Amino acid sequence: MTQLIAPHGTDALKPLFVNSDAERAELLKEAANLPSKLISSAAAGNAVMLGAGYFTPLSGFMTKADALSVGASMQTTSGLFWPTPVLNLVKDASGINIGDRIALLDPNVDGTPVLAVQTVESIDVFSDEEITSLTQQVYGTTDSEHPGVAELEAQGKTAIAGPIQVLNYSYFETDFPDTFRTAGDIRASIAEHGWNRVVAFQTRNPMHRAHEELCHMAMERLNADGLVIHMLLGKLKPGDIPAPVRDAAIRKMIELYFPANSAMVTGYGFDMLYAGPREALLHAVFRQNMGATHFIIGRDHAGVGDYYEPFEAQEIFDKIPENALKIELFKADHTAYSKKLEKVVMMSEAPDHSKEDFVLLSGTAVREMLSEGKAPPVEFSRPEVAKILMDHYQS
């Protein structure tokens, strides 16, 4: 029988989605008469992750004190390991008082329906210095050109903290019915497959040959029973490939190049933070919550531009308390196709190679090829995957 890994910081998953139809209907009726607040896309993503159990054991949005503690020491004031603040930041909370129940409106769905109901436990304003310090700790920079920093700066400085009851999964369930899954759904699928050692792979991009082989390598070396490809379905920076296209490309690769029942394609509803090392830790937390025992972290995980060192997202795991997480890492180097060996290898494991011995293409070069209707070399991208991406770029 499958013995699943325990969720983070507790024995049982703690999804905040209201499962009972009757209770949800009651809450919606109540919400119609409550003060309402249109929240940011980032706060909506936090609500979806809380609802889906990925942010177990949190019970809602953090207080300013918890957020500052997480920034400074990666733990809440109660001592729970947590790498990034989970906030409902607004520009103005006038008309909202401590003890109120408020309806949180979804900025990402037409008509801004009620996403969740929050009980207000505290309302705190961050000073400019506190926001700057928190930004530096989480993102490693305060540069407004960094997409995560820009997003944080746009949200406001007032934190509305307190527990939430989540009424739906925003647009993720309707736009991605085959892919969006809660942490509980994935746990149930893992148990159904009878998998005990489960590798998770994070992606916000389509998967090329190097990613595909990296997953095969991890499964082989860890003697894993199954692979969960877990893709981000929320907002990205401009120019990134939209989720439906990524989804189609990844599914085609799994269908053709992985044994039956060895891998599942799933997704989660959250916007990318681009917080590099801190986001890598957050990714590990919610992969443990969804039942993965191992997590692949490669070069520049969750990075953007040149803000982080290539392996900073792996090194941060060596700096956290030993018992902070139960999930284990599979640390990967840059992978590429070796012309000498005629297969994809980790570059660090091919010491007799020079750069010229590998098939290496920049993202820009690949995008140009696809836009011109040229398939990248088969050593770089599977032809069936390249076709889906070419059709997207040319449309």
Q: Which residues are catalytic?
A: 204-205
The rounded distance, in Å, linking the Cα atoms of 237 and 155 is 16
Do 332 and 199 form a contact (C-beta atoms < 8 A)? no
Residue 164 bridge partners (DSSP): 118
Q: Is 191 helix (H, G, I), strand (E, B) or coil?
A: helix
Count of other CB atoms within 10 angstroms of residue 72: 11
Lookup: tokens for 307: 């803000």
Alpha helices in the chain (DSSP H): 21-31, 41-51, 64-73, 128-139, 147-155, 172-175, 183-193, 209-222, 243-257, 276-289, 312-315, 363-371, 383-394
Find tokens 């297969």 and name the residue.
343
DSSP 238: T
Do 39 and 33 form a contact (C-beta atoms < 8 A)? no
**How many residues make up the chain in this entry?**
395
148 residue type, one letter: G
